[in-house]
């Protein structure tokens, strides 16, 4: 290469370096400025995190680059001369490259290989932090007698380092063999492979390095078995596999020694014998364990398995007992969950609006807590609108009721309860928003403006802006939390209404695939063996104030992360009492717990609707309202798969801010059939078929809801709402099927179904009795008159519209 070529290459390297450094610096500064608007500990943690990632990335590249540069320079020394063609006038001549050029080429190639193989080490930051700080559960697993924390903290980093060493050794060996073959140091001569002494010494060291990396992997293999990385630890003969791993570890150490000897002296048979012995031992090691496998499940008592899984999935507080019916519980669920998410979305959101969030919540209505659905959908001008639909009530014709701020009766059409500004934190928020409220990140000087525009890819920041202009970003709750606490996995944000407005409550989980002796579950398209609800984040929508708290039932790993972040995660006691009521049982954890209880050592039964394997996606639980209307509890039934009877129910809820998990086992007098059996029996009601056919003949659609179970005064009960949609798409709850013990009932409402179950009434097809219509019309007339006297013409118009609908007996339409 000519001097001009070298200068251009050097200039390109400098430009790329400047762009990389500039982009990284701008990103770090922008993240720190943004974190400063959250809290000082957040800014400190984000800064340390960026620096740690950079340090790991540089270390990985330097180690890989130094490794490859050293080996390529070693090969370059073996090259006597290299000639390349060069055109001079009309003549082509062969020009020999100098040793300096060869050395520079080797260094450049080594640096390139180092960049390719070493980049990505920065992603190890979470493993490095946990391994460095350590975690202790004060509980040893019984197979290798190590603390459980070793498998969560140290083992993942050991595996990463072993894989990295194996990659470097194999890549260097393959590259060096190729280069020595090209220069003739490895060739066929006299029908046999010939290797020069120089190449043999070099290759012997690399073969030894590969063998040492393999040996490291075999010594780690017993830990991986206990961690369940190759399936359940007790399947396939654990002790046999451990013995084979130790033998292979010793054999590979011997192979590494023989490879090093071959590098020093040409003992070809020794080298060949070492690798052949390894290959034979590896083949036998794969074939023998299945042949010698025995049932080792008795090695770990069922009580020990349950205790360890309790730590892995938060089941150590599970209360397992027979269900004792109590008259204080009530015969019917009150309040009852009547509406499904897909039905209330059609009511609350126009067809053109994008639904951003759908959640059940307790909201204040006329000074009383009421169970409702909160639906957030997009509005015009980047605004978002929140609607509240009653979950336990319907109109006289089965239509949904919508709540306003001071409503106690409810409107027969969707009304806006709250409007969010464009700067509010919400799902589906834009990438960034320009703001002049003073709480945004100040754009300020030209340097800050360039850094922010470069990071956010926001050309608007380079245009003339007001002096007090700022920029807001990370307005999506999940993106916000992923930036602040990327070590946790965050669930879907749940909307809650409190005194100060809308807040987002988000559960944060710590998940591991290396927890020892714990059964596996499916988690977000992968298989894991530990799920813990560790944190809860509260984000105020309008102000963006974000706080992360430890859960009261947090495990040692969560506590270690709280210490690592240096104040970013606050203790559970710091959560205000008002917000404690809005923190409900974490659903994703509950689903994992319910799946784990199917294990044979728990002897509970099979989840209703579960897959054939424990690694199938966990079943979604039913959401039921607490009798005091202060929150939800989750409920899921287990069945006897042979008789299709519900034999147990798992209930999860919150008591005084603590997670409470109860397993109720049912006796023969309390059981009910599985949902499919109940649906088949309910569908035999003559009136059911008549009303379904009537809806379809009128051009509407019939939709059966989910089967809901509950624990009441007489034992286990079940009900199923059914919905009818008119041709214009407005749904109404038109039918409820009920089961208590061995008796069935059905009717227009849950109370009607109960009276039918007792034999007091006969279910009929009706659009609402005249007396009930007149009563509801009277209430709307009084409401309209009151609004008119107060001069509230908006409320008057809504009440008058509802009055007309009741008198016309028509379906509820959206407005």
Please state, in angstroms and rounded to a whole number, the distance separating the CA atoms of residues 622 and 587. Answer: 10
Which has the closest alpha carbon to 203: 229, 224, 179? Answer: 179
* Interstrand relation of 526-528 and 521-523 (parallel, antiparallel or unpaired): antiparallel
Identify whether the C-beta of residue 476 lies closer than 8 Å to the C-beta of residue 539. no
Which has the closest alpha carbon to 424: 485, 474, 489? Answer: 474
SS3 call for 232: coil
Residue 301 half-sphere exposure, CB side, CA atoms within 13 Å?
Answer: 3
Which alpha helices (DSSP H) does 234-340 contain, by range? 238-264, 268-292, 302-313
Please state, in angstroms and rounded to a whole number, the distance separating the CA atoms of residues 600 and 353. Answer: 48
Tell me the two tokens of residue 632: 């939800």
Residues 6 or more apart whose CB falls under 8 angstroms from that of 400 comprise 339, 343, 344, 347, 389, 390, 394, 414, 731, 732, 733, 812
Which has the closest alpha carbon to 185: 74, 97, 65, 95? Answer: 74
Chain centroid to CA 606: 24
Q: Taking the CB of residue 568, how many other CB atoms lie within 10 A of it?
A: 22
Q: Taking the CB of residue 644, how many other CB atoms lie within 10 A of it?
A: 13
SS3 call for 368: strand
- Residue 217: exposed, middle, or buried by beta-carbon count in 10 A (0-12, 13-18, 19+)? buried
Phi/psi of residue 114, each to 5°? -65, -40
Which has the closest alpha carbon to 387: 398, 401, 399? Answer: 401
> What is the pLDDT, as a whole number, of residue 301?
86
SS3 call for 705: coil
Which has the closest alpha carbon to 392: 815, 68, 749? Answer: 749
Please state, in angstroms and rounded to a whole number, the distance separating the CA atoms of residues 125 and 111. Answer: 23
Q: Taking the CB of residue 215, how many other CB atoms lie within 10 A of it?
A: 21
Please state, in angstroms and rounded to a whole number, the distance separating the CA atoms of residues 783 and 761. Answer: 33
Distances (CA, A) of 753 to 682, 746, 749: 11, 4, 6
Which has the closest alpha carbon to 150: 161, 139, 164, 160? Answer: 139
* Interstrand relation of 645-655 and 658-665 (parallel, antiparallel or unpaired): antiparallel
* Interstrand relation of 658-665 and 441-442 (parallel, antiparallel or unpaired): unpaired
Which alpha helices (DSSP H) does 134-267 contain, by range? 148-183, 197-226, 238-264
- Give, to the nearest 10 degrees, the angle between helix 477-484 and helix 3-36: 110
Tell me the two tokens of residue 731: 């749904």
For the chain, the farthest-separated pair of C-alpha atoms sits apart, in whole angstroms, at 112
Identify whether the C-beta of residue 163 lies closer than 8 Å to the C-beta of residue 169. no
Residues 6 or more apart whose CB falls under 8 angstroms from that of 714 comprise 325, 331, 740, 741
Identify whether the C-beta of residue 738 lies closer than 8 Å to the C-beta of residue 719. yes
Chain centroid to CA 376: 22
Phi/psi of residue 149, each to 5°? -65, -25
SS3 call for 305: helix
Tell me the two tokens of residue 318: 């599970």
Which has the closest alpha carbon to 609: 594, 624, 593? Answer: 594
Tell me the two tokens of residue 377: 């959908």
Domain boundaries, the chain: 432-473, 477-665, 675-768, 771-808
- Give, to the nearest 10 degrees, the angle between helix 3-36 and helix 446-456: 100
Distances (CA, A) of 632 to 195, 318, 372, 491, 573: 74, 18, 11, 17, 22
Q: What is the DSSP string of 553-593?
A: T--HHHHHHHHHTTTSEEPGGGS-HHHHTT----HHHHHHH
pLDDT means per 10 residues, the chain with 815 residues, are 66 75 90 94 96 96 95 84 48 54 85 92 96 94 94 96 97 93 81 83 95 96 91 70 91 94 87 91 79 61 91 94 80 90 82 83 85 86 83 83 67 66 91 85 87 88 85 95 96 91 95 94 92 96 94 95 95 92 94 92 86 60 85 92 88 91 89 90 86 81 91 90 79 91 89 90 55 60 70 70 61 33
Q: Which DSSP symbol is given to 331?
A: S
Please state, in angstroms and rounded to a whole number, the distance separating the CA atoms of residues 562 and 540. Answer: 22
Residues 6 or more apart whose CB falls under 8 angstroms from that of 71 comprise 110, 172, 175, 176, 202, 206
> What is the pLDDT, as a whole number, of residue 324?
85
* Interstrand relation of 546-550 and 569-570 (parallel, antiparallel or unpaired): parallel
SS3 call for 637: strand
Please state, in angstroms and rounded to a whole number, the distance separating the CA atoms of residues 440 and 774. Answer: 54
Identify whether the C-beta of residue 673 lies closer than 8 Å to the C-beta of residue 644. yes
Please state, in angstroms and rounded to a whole number, the distance separating the CA atoms of residues 422 and 442. Answer: 18
Please state, in angstroms and rounded to a whole number, the distance separating the CA atoms of residues 63 and 779. Answer: 79
* Interstrand relation of 708-712 and 701-704 (parallel, antiparallel or unpaired): unpaired
Identify whether the C-beta of residue 515 lies closer than 8 Å to the C-beta of residue 228. yes
């Amino acid at each position: 290469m000519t001097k001009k070529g070298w200068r251009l290459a050097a200039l390109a390297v400098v430009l790329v370096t400047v762009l990389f450094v500039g982009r990284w610096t701008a990103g770090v500064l922008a993240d720190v400025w943004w974190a400063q608007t959250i809290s000082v500990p957040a800014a400190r943690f984000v800064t340390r995190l960026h620096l740690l990632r950079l340090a790991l990335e540089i270390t990985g590249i330097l180690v890989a680059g130094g490794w490859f540069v050293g080996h390529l320079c070693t090969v370059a020394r073996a090259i006597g001369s290299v000639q390349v063609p060069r055109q001079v006038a009309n003549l082509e001549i062969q020009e020999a490259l100098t040793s300096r050029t060869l050395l520079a080429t080797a260094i450049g190639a080594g640096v390139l290989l180092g960049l390719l193989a070493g980049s990505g080490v920065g992603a190890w930051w979470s493993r490095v932090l946990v391994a460095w700080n350590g975690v202790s559960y004060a509980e040893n697993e019984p197979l290798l007698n190590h603390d459980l924390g070793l498998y969560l903290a140290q083992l993942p980093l050991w595996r990463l380092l072993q894989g990295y060493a194996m990659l470097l050794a194999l890549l260097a060996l393959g590259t060096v063999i190729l280069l020595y073959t090209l220069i003739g140091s490895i060739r066929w001569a006299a029908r046999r492979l010939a290797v020069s002494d120089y190449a043999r010494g070099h290759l012997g060291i690399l073969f030894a390095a590969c063998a040492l990396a393999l040996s490291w992997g075999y010594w780690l293999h017993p830990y991986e078995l206990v961690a369940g990385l190759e399936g359940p630890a007790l399947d396939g003969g654990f002790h046999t596999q451990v013995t084979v791993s130790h033998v292979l570890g010793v054999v590979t150490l011997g192979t590494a020694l023989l490879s090093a000897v071959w590098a020093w002296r040409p003992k070809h048979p020794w080298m060949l014998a070492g690798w052949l012995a390894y290959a034979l031992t590896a083949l036998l090691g794969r074939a023998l364990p299945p042949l010698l496998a025995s049932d080792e499940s008795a090695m770990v008592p069922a009580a020990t398995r349950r205790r360890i899984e309790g730590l892995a999935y938060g089941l150590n507080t599970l209360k397992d007992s027979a269900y004792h019916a109590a008259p204080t519980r009530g015969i019917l669920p009150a309040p009852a969950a009547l509406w499904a998410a897909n039905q209330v979305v059609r009511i609350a959101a126009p067809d053109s609006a994008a639904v951003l969030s759908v959640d059940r919540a307790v909201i204040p209505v006329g000074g009383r807590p009421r169970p409702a659905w909160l639906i957030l959908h997009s509005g015009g001008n980047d605004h978002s609108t929140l609607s509240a639909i009653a979950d336990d009530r319907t109109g006289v014709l089965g239509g949904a009721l919508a709540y306003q701020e001071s409503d106690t009766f409810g409107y027969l059409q969707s009304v806006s309860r709250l409007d969010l500004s464009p700067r509010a934190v919400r799902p589906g928020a834009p990438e960034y928003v320009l703001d002049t409220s003073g709480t945004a990140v100040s754009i300020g000087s030209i340097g800050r403006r360039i850094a922010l525009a470069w990071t956010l890819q926001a050309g608007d920041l380079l245009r003339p802006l007001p002096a007090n202009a700022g920029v807001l970003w990370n307005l999506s709750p999940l993106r916000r939390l992923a930036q602040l606490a990327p070590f946790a996995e965050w669930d879907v944000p749940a909307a809650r209404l409190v005194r100060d407005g809308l807040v987002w409550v988000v559960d944060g989980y710590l998940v591991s695939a290396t927890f020892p002796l714990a059964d596996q579950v499916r988690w977000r398209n992968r298989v894991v063996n530990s799920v813990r609800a560790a944190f809860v984040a509260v984000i105020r929508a309008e102000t963006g104030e974000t706080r992360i708290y430890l859960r009261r039932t947090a495990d040692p790993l969560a506590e270690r992360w709280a210490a690592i972040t240096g104040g970013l995660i606050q203790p559970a006691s710091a959560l205000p009492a008002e917000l404690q009521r809005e923190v409900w049982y974490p659903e994703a954890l509950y689903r994992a717990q319910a799946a784990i209880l199917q294990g044979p050592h728990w002897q509970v039964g099979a989840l209703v609707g579960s897959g054939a394997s424990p690694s199938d996606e966990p079943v979604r639980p039913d959401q039921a309202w607490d009798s005091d209307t202060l929150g939800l509890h989750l409920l899921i039934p287990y069945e006897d798969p042979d008789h299709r009877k519900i034999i147990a129910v798992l209930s999860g809820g919150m008591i005084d801010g603590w997670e409470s998990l109860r397993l109720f086992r049912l006796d023969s007098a309390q059981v009910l059939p599985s949902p499919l059996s109940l649906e088949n029996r309910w569908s035999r009601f003559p009136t059911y078929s008549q009303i379904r056919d009537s809806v379809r003949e009128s051009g509407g659609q019939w939709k059966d809801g989910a089967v809901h179970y509950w624990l009441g005064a007489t034992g286990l009960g079940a009900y199923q709402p059914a919905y009818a949609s008119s041709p214009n798409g407005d749904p109404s709850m038109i039918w409820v099927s009920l089961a208590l013990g061995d008796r069935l009932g059905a009717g227009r409402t849950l109370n009607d179904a109960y009276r039918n179950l007792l034999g007091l009434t006969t279910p009929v097809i009706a659009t609402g009795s005249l007396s009930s219509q007149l009563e509801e019309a009277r209430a709307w007339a009084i409401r309209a008159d009151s609004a008119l006297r107060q001069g509230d013409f908006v409320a008057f118009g809504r009440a008058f519209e509802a009055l007309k609908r009741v008198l016309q007996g028509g379906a509820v339409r959206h407005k």
